[in-house]
Amino acid sequence: MQVEIKKQTFQFKRPSGTSRGILTQKESWFIRIIKNQKIGIGESSLIEGLSFDAKPHFEKQLRQFARDFSFDQKLSNLNEWPSIQMGFETALLSLKAPQWWELYPTAFSKGKASIPINGLVWMGTREFMKDQIKELLDKGFRCLKLKIGALNFEEELNILRYIRKDFSERNLTIRLDANGAFSIVNALHKLQELSAFDIHSIEQPLPPLQWEEMASLCEQSPIDIALDEELIGVFDHQKREAMLDQIKPQFIILKPSLIGGFQVAEKWISRAKERKIGWWITSALESNIGLNAIAQWTYRLKAKGQQGLGTGSLFSNNIDLPLNVSDGFLSIDENKPWQFNF
């Protein structure tokens, strides 16, 4: 058996803004496991300032685990290294698969079915955001997720007015993502103003680790609240249950690369279902290698509604795989080859 690591930096086609700052590039590490002439490929995707394991010695830890890796090792030992956990979990699934790219053989993996996805609108000037919105609507998206929280709030309200002027709730679903940009003092007032625009939900209005305040907001908000960053770094199952029981969110967002892979995400989903909490799945700026794995897993779960899997077109140097987005759906082009030069 042989385990290899390859690092690659991906460039955004255009600077992409959130309330945490502007992104121009990001790094991923690819994992290749070779055994008995079979190959498995996974991706450890890291987001600086967000990933729990975005630490100075991340790459050293990844390469050390690769050197020491054996099939009897438990990936749960990597709890505090969720990106590495995700990378090795998907590499092992890939190794066991009929073909390295077909982690879960389904109608989706064979190009016979598709997944509804939302379009993503990054923060920027009013004109920049309007250009993104027009481009996504022209491409057939009927669910948009807008990053908010960095512009003047009145400007953000004006952008929502611009959208709703031509598209009603019946024709277009709007989700918002504040990335923790609101404060305890102003969050409820802002949510009340935003509710005038028929918003489906808002992700993480408050910064994480304010359970009592978030619980109060979930109870009073006129807009359904989805927890996102709140899930990062919660490794203990009892803490997961305590958090969901106290906050009582309407939704949770699952980003496998940020929380430790598919098995961990399925535990979150199980806890959410027990409490009648909704959920959907979102990629976390992986390349098409990681996006393909997440999409196949998502389809296997029969996830409902639009998923956050429309990030494959963000990079100018993404891995060229047969993933295709058309009319707001993600699919696999069965006529294109699967090639990855590790």
Q: What percent of the chain has pLDDT over 70?
A: 99
> Which range is least confidently modeled, 3-17, 250-264, 326-340?
3-17
CATH superfamily of 2-96: Enolase-like, N-terminal domain (3.30.390.10)
Mapped onto helix, strand or coil, the DSSP state of residue 128 is helix
| Residue 255 annotated among the catalytic residues of the structure | yes
Compute the distance between CA of residue 144 and CA of residue 128 in angstroms, rounded to an integer: 15
Which tens digit of pLDDT belongs to each residue from 168-191?
A: 998 999 999 999 999 999 999 999
The model's confidence at residue 123, banded by pLDDT at 50, 70 and 90, is: confident
115-332 to CATH, choices 3.40.640.10, 3.20.20.120, 3.40.1030.10, 3.40.50.720: 3.20.20.120
Contact call for residues 249 and 218 (beta carbons, < 8 A): yes
User: Rounded to whole angstroms, how far apart are CA atoms 144 and 306?
Assistant: 9
> Measured between alpha carbons, how far is 134 from 35 in angstroms, rounded to an integer?
48
Does 302 participate in catalysis according to the annotation?
no
Count of Cβ atoms closer than 10 Å to residue 67 Cβ: 9
Confidence of residue 17 (pLDDT cuts 50, 70, 90): low
pLDDT of residue 125: 79
16 has a pLDDT exceeding 80: no
pLDDT of amino acid 77 = 77
Contact by Cβ (8 Å): 180, 50? no
Mean pLDDT of 299-319: 94
User: What percentage of the chain has pLDDT greater than the value 90?
Assistant: 80
Residue 304 has pLDDT above 70, yes or no: yes
Tell me the residue length of the chain: 342
Same-fold call for 2-96 versus 115-332:
no
Residue extents of the structural domains in the chain: 2-96, 115-332
CA atoms of 276 and 82, how far apart (whole Å): 26
- Is the separation of the CB atoms in 240 and 267 below 8 Å? yes
* pLDDT for the residue 19: 59
Is 3 in contact with 68 (CB distance < 8 Å)?
no
* 275 pLDDT more than 80: yes
By mean pLDDT, which of 34-38, 51-55, 165-169, 324-328 is the weakest? 165-169
Order of strands across the sheet that contains 201-203:
119-121, 143-147, 173-177, 201-203, 225-227, 251-254, 278-281
**150 pLDDT more than 90:** no
207 phi and psi, to 5 degrees? -60, 155
| AA letter at 217 | L
Q: What is this structure's pTM?
A: 0.95
Segment 19-37 mean pLDDT: 89
Active-site residue, from 145, 147, 165, 190? 147
Kindly report, residue by residue over 198-215, the tens digit of the pLDDT: 999 999 999 999 999 999
Catalytic residue among 26, 145, 190, 255: 255
CA distance 333 to 68: 37
